[in-house]
Amino acid sequence: MTEATRVLVLNAGSSSVKYQLIEMVDGERLAAGLVEKIGEHGGRLVHTPRSGLKRETAQPFPDHSAALKAVAEELAADGLGLDSPELAAIGHRVVHGGKRFTAPTEITDEVLTEIRRLVPVAPLHNPANIIGIEVARALRPDLPQVAVFDTAFHTTIPEYAARYAIDRAVADQHRVRRYGFHGTSHQYVARATAQLLGRDPAELNVIVLHLGNGASASAVAGGVCVDTSMGLTPLEGLVMGTRSGDIDAGVVFHLHRVGGLSIDEIDDLLNRRSGLLGLCGDNDMREIMRRAEAGDEQAELAFKAYVHRLRKYIGGYYAVLGRVDAIAFTAGVGENAAPVRAAAAEGLAELGIAVDPELNSIRSGQARVISPEYARVAVAVVPTDEELEIAQQAYALVHKGW
């Protein structure tokens, strides 16, 4: 009998699916890929097999089911189909796990019902995660399907930081509290930062800045998360691609009562039409930097607002941690946008924070330090790998059961 030692990871986002097939014995990526712009114009699938050439197909993907079927076909074309006996598990990123899911969990009908119950608090994400689970279960009902939750790493946040200052009874009744997201990434990056610096993760205090489409900051003390910028939903905190981040709740009342917008319209406004997109009409940081460079005032303002919010969280988490050993930049913007990193650290020498312009300008897919040697705080670029972290957690769970 073939030993099942491979894990397929599905990371379904609001309009994309990222996937990786990993051989867990040696960590080798057998295949990886991305489907973009699901349900939009310009749908695209990029599949990268371990050996051989990258394959790119431009075609519309009307929904997540269509995208996942295309992924299954790409894998099958390489002889790595979902019917493979070598598959040990399928790992799914699930964004909201509420209070109940604090660890990787094998997905049963009952678990799926609970994930569905959390859709209202992760409306852009949990529905996509659920479709991924349904398609994978239909194709391989015999395999363990494991959910790895974005919220799990944040369950260590102390009560005084997790609670909103609102009436206790109302908050408890409706489970309103700060859950935090991107936890799998924050966890992976905090550990990878310790590795990069040759330090024991249990002794390192790190501020992790996950700057992708969604963006969040977290304060990690000795490997344990003590605060994070996202809240009940992935809307709070930093300025994001299309989300406002922190906002006075009074804005919602005002837009409803005075502006005449319905609650659904305000939800759509703050989640899908705000952030960088709302400020300047673009949500891609590459385009914003290009426009700002060319003297476009709206783009410049959007860039400044983005960085200003980021700096407030760096300062805030400095105070939360007391001592900061490292600041790690990760995800699409954090890994690639040198001007964002430079602006975030500017003028913070008094806090021991500085970025070396030459080190910062190096383009590389590797984890690297970008602060000068004299600086007390190590500033680093640490590529995230949510898929590898999900695969490891899923594999550990199915092995424990043996």
Ligand X SMILES: Nc1ncnc2c1ncn2[C@@H]1O[C@H](COP(=O)(O)OP(=O)(O)O)[C@@H](O)[C@H]1O
CB 131 within 8 A of CB 65: yes
CB 182 within 8 A of CB 150: yes
Which residues contact ligand X (rule: CB under 6 A)? 13, 16, 212-214, 241, 284-286, 331-333, 336-337
Q: How far apart are CA 80 and CA 66, in angstroms?
A: 19
Q: How far is the CB of 59 from ligand UVW (least distance, A)?
A: 23
178 lines the binding site for ligand UVW (CB under 6 A) = no
Q: Sheet holding 145-149: strands in order across?
A: 55-58, 44-49, 28-36, 17-23, 6-12, 87-94, 145-149, 105-106
* Catalytic-labelled residue, pool 150, 296, 325, 356: 150
Q: How far is the CB of 233 from ligand UVW (least distance, A)?
A: 9
Token pair in block for residue 224: 């344990």
92 lines the binding site for ligand UVW (CB under 6 A) = no
Q: How far is the CB of 286 from ligand X (least distance, A)?
A: 4
**227 classed as catalytic:** no
Q: Tell me which of ligand X, Mg ion, ligand UVW, none is bound by residue 95, counting a contact when its beta carbon lies within the kind-specific cut-off of 5 to 8 angstroms.
A: ligand UVW
Binds Mg ion by CB under 5 A, chosen from 183, 212, 234, 383: 212
123 lines the binding site for ligand UVW (CB under 6 A) = no
For residue 40, say whether it is annotated as part of any ligand binding site: no
Cα 258 to Cα 245, 252, 269, 273, 278, distances in angstroms: 22, 10, 16, 20, 20
CB 20 within 8 A of CB 49: no
212 lines the binding site for ligand UVW (CB under 6 A) = yes
Q: How far apart are CA 236 and CA 127, in angstroms?
A: 20
CB of 74 or CB of 386, closer to Mg ion: 386
CB of 6 or CB of 93, closer to ligand X: 93
Q: How far apart are CA 277 and CA 263, in angstroms?
A: 20
The region of 19-27, 35-43, 108-116, 208-216 touching ligand UVW under the rule CB under 6 A is 208-216
Strands (E), 13-52: 17-23, 28-36, 44-49
CB of 33 or CB of 212, closer to Mg ion: 212
Q: Which residues would be at the binding site for ligand UVW (CB under 6 A)?
A: 13-14, 95, 125, 150, 181-182, 212-214, 234
Which residues are the active-site residues?
150
